[in-house]
Amino acid sequence: MKISENPLKKKTILLRSSWQIVNIGDIAHTPGVLTLLEQHLTGIEVILWASDDFSEDALAMLRRRFPGLQVVKGRIGDDGKADNTELQQALDKSIFLLHGSGPLLVAHEDVIAYRKHTGKAFGVFGITYGGYNESNWPEMKQVLSEAAFIYFRDSASLEKAKSDGISCPLMKFGPDGAFAVDVRNDDRALSFMAEHNLEPHGFLCCITRYRYTPFWKVKDVPFNEEKHAVNEAKKEQDHADLRQAIIEVVRQTSLKVLICPEDMTQMELSKEMLVDRMPEDVRSRVVWREHFWLTDEALSVYIRSAGLFGSEMHSPIMCIGNGVPAIVCRWAEQTTKGLMWQDIGLGEWLFDLDKPEDREHVVPAVLGLAMQPEGAKAKALAAQACVKELQQSMALTLLNAIDGLSS
């Protein structure tokens, strides 16, 4: 149900989000939070403050779902003025800044500048804390302590924030905004499925990744020899169980397996480590997604699948948010974000690939999902209900924080 038909029609908040476009999960944060605000805070005006590299394709996807959305970019200078008129007008008009979900307080510099030069309040929806050594980052701890509220997307982050002495008055576990994403591109999804003979609910999706995303392959950043070495050293271990799960699903069920990407670096990896190593009797029922896609097409495929498994996080989030079963494999390099699966009641679908005792359960868990679809669906729907209740509470907190503020 909607929280309020509150008199917020003249109140405007800035949503600082849209971090990058090389990953459909990073894209998904924004439409997810926009959907929450649309559902629960009727009448509020939201202006999206996006990062500079937010692409026209991603923006077009957002505007198909949110046709009236105003989007601004830019930075606040040392003099307290925005570097463009559109952002300045948005800053002047806003009464509150909401920082969207991410691996940390991604836009901490913008949040600090907003607080310093406008004196207006801010809050945080669904971040991880501690994965980027924020404990030794005094300004990060200080700005988080100044928030009206902070929702951490995994309970381990919440506990670390408390132990580090962050003194925000309201700190709770609150699911990643991407759980609420509902963007669709059914035409592209159905065309892709028809091209590859994928029947609705007749296939599982599988996603794999490197331990460290090799951004140097898709962005203008330096090659990192240390991270590359870790990726190569762990590559076989991190793919062996996923590969075997695909083989067993094909051999023991009637399902196909779609191997698809969450970020732009994964197509080449999945071909090398999964597709090219499939036995002949399996290969004909394995589909490889050769090209990257946007969040709306991916979600339109996921909701027509029998479920998803792999070593990414946000495609499983998008699945559970839409009642689709999803298994998560993780490792320490992914920070604590994967522990959110325990927080929403899906601990049986969470596996640490650095632990042999966890790795031996990956294949049975995937087969269980494939062979017991009704039970898997029920588990996914229970987690979805848990997330929805928590996110409604998050929206109510935001409403309370801005209620009574003047525009």
- Mind listing the pLDDT tens digit for each residue in 57-87? 999 999 999 999 999 999 999 999 999 999 9
Contact present, 81 and 38 (Cβ < 8 Å) = no
CA distance 341 to 317: 9
Question: 110 and 89 share a domain?
Answer: yes
Question: 107 and 80 share a domain?
Answer: yes
DSSP line for 77-91: -TTS-BSSHHHHHHH
Question: 27 and 100 share a domain?
Answer: yes
- DSSP conformation class of 220: S
Question: 174 and 219 share a domain?
Answer: no
Res 90 pLDDT > 60: yes
The CATH number of residue 108's host domain is 3.40.50.2000
Question: 100 and 117 share a domain?
Answer: yes
Q: What is the pLDDT of residues 228-258, one digit of tens each?
A: 999 999 999 999 999 999 999 999 999 999 9
CA distance 245 to 206: 10
Q: Taking residues 207-227, what's their average pLDDT?
A: 95
Res 7 pLDDT > 90: no
Q: Specify the pLDDT at position 28.
A: 95
Structure tokens given for 142: 């200080």
Element (H, E) at 49: strand 45-50
Q: Residue 7 domain-assigned?
A: no
Q: Taking residues 146-158, what's their average pLDDT?
A: 97
Give the CA angle between residues 136, 137, 141 to the nearest 5°. 110
Lowest mean pLDDT of 3-17, 131-145, 182-196, 309-323, name the range.
3-17
Greater confidence (55 vs 381) lies with 381
Question: 231 and 258 share a domain?
Answer: yes
The side-by-side arrangement of strands in the sheet containing 286-288 is: 286-288, 256-259, 203-207, 308-310, 326-330, 350-352
Q: Which of 138, 116, 127, 130 minimizes the C-alpha distance to 26?
A: 127
Q: Residue 1 domain-assigned?
A: no
Res 324 pLDDT > 60: yes
Q: Residue 33 domain-assigned?
A: yes
131 pLDDT tier (thresholds 50, 70, 90): confident
Q: At what angle do helices 108-118 and 138-145 cross, to 10 degrees?
A: 50
Res 149 pLDDT > 80: yes
Q: Residue 176 domain-assigned?
A: yes
Q: 102 - beta bridge partners?
A: 127
Q: Residue 94 domain-assigned?
A: yes
Q: How are beta strands 96-99 and 12-17 bridged, if at all? A: parallel
CA distance 25 to 44: 25
Question: 305 and 319 share a domain?
Answer: yes
Q: Specify the pLDDT at position 20.
A: 85
Res 262 pLDDT > 70: yes
Res 9 pLDDT > 90: no
Q: Specify the pLDDT at position 3.
A: 44
Q: Residue 90 domain-assigned?
A: yes
Question: 171 and 128 share a domain?
Answer: yes
What rounded mean pLDDT belongs to the chain?
94
Q: Specify the pLDDT at position 404.
A: 65
Question: 357 and 394 share a domain?
Answer: no
Q: Residue 407 domain-assigned?
A: no
**What phi and psi values does residue 329 have, to the nearest 5 degrees?**
-110, 145
Res 407 pLDDT > 50: no
Instruction: Give the whole-number percent of the chain exceeding pLDDT 90.
Output: 90
Q: Specify the pLDDT at position 71.
A: 96
Q: Specify the pLDDT at position 39.
A: 94
138 pLDDT tier (thresholds 50, 70, 90): confident
Going from the C-alpha of 57 to that of each of 195, 255, 338, 371, the distances in angstroms are 23, 33, 29, 38
Count: domains in the chain: 2
Question: 44 and 110 share a domain?
Answer: yes
In one-letter notation, the amino acid at residue 330 is R
Contact present, 216 and 224 (Cβ < 8 Å) = yes
8 pLDDT tier (thresholds 50, 70, 90): very low
Q: What is the pLDDT of residues 350-405, one digit of tens each?
A: 999 999 999 999 999 999 999 999 999 999 999 999 999 999 999 999 999 998 67
Q: Residue 3 domain-assigned?
A: no
Question: 143 and 213 share a domain?
Answer: no
- DSSP conformation class of 24: H
Question: 233 and 136 share a domain?
Answer: no
Res 4 pLDDT > 70: no
Res 178 pLDDT > 50: yes
Res 38 pLDDT > 60: yes
Q: Classify the C-alpha dihedral 388-331-229-275 as positive or negative.
A: negative
Determine the structural domain holding residue 22 and report its residue range: 12-180+388-402
Greater confidence (404 vs 214) lies with 214
Res 1 pLDDT > 50: no
Dihedral over alpha carbons 93, 98, 102, 104 (to 10 degrees):
100
